[in-house]
Amino acid sequence: MSQMVLGIGDLGASNHPDAEIKTYALGSCIAVVLLDPQTRTVGMVHIALPESKINLVKAKEKPGYFADTGLPLLLQEMARHGCQPKGKGLIIKLAGGAAIMDHNDTFNIGKRNLLAIKKILWSYGLGPRSEDVGGTFSRTVSVSVRTGEVILSSPGRPNWKI
Amino acid sequence: MTTSNLHAEIARAIQAAPLLSPIANQLLQVTARADHEMKEVIDLVKCDSLLTARLLRVVNSSAMGLVHQISSVDHAVSYLGERLVVGIAIAECTNEFLGKPLDGYEGESGQLWRHELFTAIASRAVARHARAPLPADLAFTAGLLHDIGKAILSEFLRGTSRELVADIVRGDTADYLTGEQERVGLDHAEVGFELARHWKLPEALAQVIRHHHHPETAEAELRPLIYAVHLGDILAMMGGQGTGSDSMKYHLRQEYAEHFTMSKDDLALLLLECSEEFRKVEASLASLKET
């Protein structure tokens, strides 16, 4: 099995049946997982912040860091694997976006990430099939290309699927 | 085991913890003084050939990206800044202690050190947003040591994380700190404070360690520094650098706003900058482990 590990702001896609895409310890970050049943391709991006306007240099260097630059690039990467360029037919799953207890608006970057991601998906006419977002715990996400199963883990909890 | 037996065991574990090296201790004492000068730091480093070699290795590592090699202590110290000099001295002597897995928190090997490092970087960055001037490098050092209590308490919390997390989710336990107290009668902040006493750390650092989850209970004079670390700790967890099952299960103390001004965009930028700096510093410190 080959494992593609994504750090903050990384994105990737694969249609190799033995591949697994994984990203560790999402705090306020959100992993967007795209699955294409037609081409059996899986893609993921590890988004840290909602909008690229706060640092355009960083957005150019690592577009996956921001929702507004990362999602379009992930769709392009999926298209490179034969998927529909506008994302038609994709199954979308979201995980992450946690917050500290008693947070205020300033510290709820997870929620702002989620809203930005949904807004962009909406602009493509897309929406998540399932999501495991918010709460006060970090998440590690892995997805197998062969099974398409999205597995979540968090210290102190048994693993679960979305 | 009864609570008093547990306390005695924890006290023994604190006494048995490895001490900081004399050079790390001297650097902490000097840099905690508000009126210290860089020359004092350089003079201390010059007296320690091992630390000098380490600093030169880090400053000339590929992660630092220097075009020309630095070969003098003065240049290395001024390039790295006193915070990284102190950080390297601490890393050198706590490598095993802070690098071990945190079984009680289901934390992996190296996770506590990475959390301390991210918190240090973030506490310093938060200090720049203080309403009144704050010693930013001291915030870095305090961040680097704030969770040392976990290295001791982890052993005593072994096997408790699932139940503790479930209690918090159900609302039966207020947060992870309370959960620690419920299970072993002490929390990592208090244990860290006792370890700070054992290590003879400067008082300001000991107080940060003790109050970093409840800065409002500290002496007024120290509160801005403690809030900086409180927020730095939270930023580390948001950035995915927690210590395991306790990540995000602490309260944000809203009173931070009395000491800091930060907009939503400021915080987003802080998280971005700290993640970048963390990546760079972690890579440059990794050169210490190369043979």
Q: Could you read off the pLDDT of A49-81 as tens digits, one per residue?
A: 999 999 999 999 999 999 999 999 999 999 999
Task: Tell whether the model's pLDDT for residue B1 goes beyond 80.
Answer: no
pLDDT of B291 over the 60 cut: no
- In terms of residue numbers, what domain contains B94? 3-286
**Model confidence over B14-51: pLDDT tens digits?**
999 999 999 999 999 999 998 999 999 999 999 998 89
User: Cβ contact (<8 Å) for A107 and B252?
Assistant: yes
Query: A interface mutation test: which of B272, B274, B277 has the most A CBs within 10 A?
Result: B272
A101: helix, strand or coil: strand
Instruction: Tell me which chain A residues have a C-beta less than 8 angstroms from the C-beta of B118.
Output: none
- Number of structural domains chain B divides into: 1
> Residues A95-150: pLDDT tens digits?
999 999 999 999 999 999 999 999 999 999 999 999 999 999 999 999 999 999 99
- CATH of residue B182: 1.10.3210.10
**Residue contacts between A and B (CB atoms, under 8 Å):** 109
Q: Inform me whether the pLDDT recorded for A1 exceeds 80.
A: no
pLDDT digits (tens, 9 = 90+) for A88-103: 999 999 999 999 999 9
Give me the CATH number covering residue A31: 3.30.1330.200
Tell me the residue range of the domain where A70 lies: 2-161
Contact A136 B168 (CB under 8 A): yes
- The Cα of A130 is separated from the nearest Cα of chain B by a number of Å equal to 21
Domain-embedded: residue B71: yes
Number of domains in chain A: 1
Inside any domain, residue B291:
no
- Helical segments of chain A, H only: 56-61, 67-80, 109-123
ipTM of the complex: 0.95
